[in-house]
Amino acid sequence: MDFLNSIIIGTFAVIYIINGGISIPMIYILVILLEITEIFFHSAMSAVLPSIVEKEELLEANLLNSLVMNIGNILAPVLASFIYGTFGMRVILIVNSISFLLSAISEMFINIPKNHKAPKKINMNVFKTDLMEGINIIKSNRLISTMISLGTIINFCIGPLFSIGLIFIIKEVLKTNDFQFGIFQMILSASMLVAPILCGSIIKKVKIGRLCFTSFIFISFLILIMAIIPSNIFVNAFNTNIIPYIGLLSISFMVGILATVANIALGTLFNQIVPLELMGRTSTVFNLAVTVFIPIGKCFLDFYMI
């Protein structure tokens, strides 16, 4: 999939160089293609970690994986801003294409145990069969179906809240300046980075199921408190926006930590209960269900805010 991403982005880089730019419809096509490949890539990669790590080490491995991924998520916008400001979009597309190509080459040298029987032919019928088998596995296992339902609900509610709702509150309700907004974004990213470090020892001592339950309860409680902050009564009770801003900042930081902890716990639990030979197809259904509800949640929030 990384090789395919390299070809896709490389093709759009050539189009950009020839035409001197990319139209809005072309950008939509690029995003859709990359999102499709990402779903299948994560479905395949979900089986890698439990294949090379013992079950009792899965939690620690997921903690480390979360830490590394969050570091990348923080550094990526910084590097992208620097490259774009210095060299422009053309270089970003070229560098991105080369990065995916190098990633695809490096993955060829990873020795992953084969825990499933590969199909003799790869076509739509095989894909449909594997997808239906993943759905049947989910239906037959109440715990897996509950986890997918929780993941779907979380992405439907919390995803739009952080990507649209909080930005609207910060900029439109609290009327913060660009510096305050930048600090808010930095603190929010930092919460996801420090969660594996601050909570690592606690996570290892608590049972995975209890950890998920506790995280969801506290997240719900914090979001309920967060709903009070943008209200006119609370905002107008202060002469400046500093107190509401600090309150929203603090609650968002705690929600970010708890959401990261819940994500680690869910990932570990999923890796532990799903058989390795069925991990890929089950993860495909999981990723599809979770991903589809993110834009639906955003549309619902946009409609409610109008």
Question: Which pLDDT tens digit goes with each residue over 244-287?
Answer: 888 888 998 888 888 887 777 777 777 777 776 666 667 767 77
For residues 193 and 71, what is the distance between their CA atoms, to the nearest angstrom?
A: 6
Which pLDDT value is given to residue 266? 74
Which pLDDT value is given to residue 120? 54
Where are the extended beta strands (E) located within the chain?
none
For residues 122 and 151, what is the distance between their CA atoms, to the nearest angstrom?
A: 29
Which pLDDT value is given to residue 124? 64
Which pLDDT value is given to residue 237? 86
Residue 176 has pLDDT above 80, yes or no: yes
Which pLDDT value is given to residue 86? 82
Question: Which pLDDT tens digit goes with each residue over 41-58?
Answer: 766 666 676 667 776 677
Which pLDDT value is given to residue 18? 87
Residue 159 has pLDDT above 80, yes or no: no
Residue 208 has pLDDT above 70, yes or no: no
185 neighbors 256 (Cβ within 8 angstroms): no
Which pLDDT value is given to residue 173? 85
Give residue 21's region: left, alpha or beta (phi > 0; psi -120 to 50): left
Q: Residue ranges of the alpha helices (H) in 206-275?
A: 208-226, 232-235, 242-273
For residues 263 and 151, what is the distance between their CA atoms, to the nearest angstrom?
A: 9
Residue 23 has pLDDT above 80, yes or no: yes
User: Which of 207 and 33 is assigned the larger pLDDT?
Assistant: 33
For residues 156 and 273, what is the distance between their CA atoms, to the nearest angstrom?
A: 24
- Read off the pTM: 0.70
User: Which of 294 and 87 is assigned the larger pLDDT?
Assistant: 87
Residue 303 confidence class, pLDDT cut points 50, 70, 90: low
Which pLDDT value is given to residue 126? 63
Which pLDDT value is given to residue 142? 75
Question: Which pLDDT tens digit goes with each residue over 86-144?
Answer: 888 888 888 888 888 888 888 777 776 665 555 555 556 766 676 676 677 777 777 77
254 neighbors 244 (Cβ within 8 angstroms): no
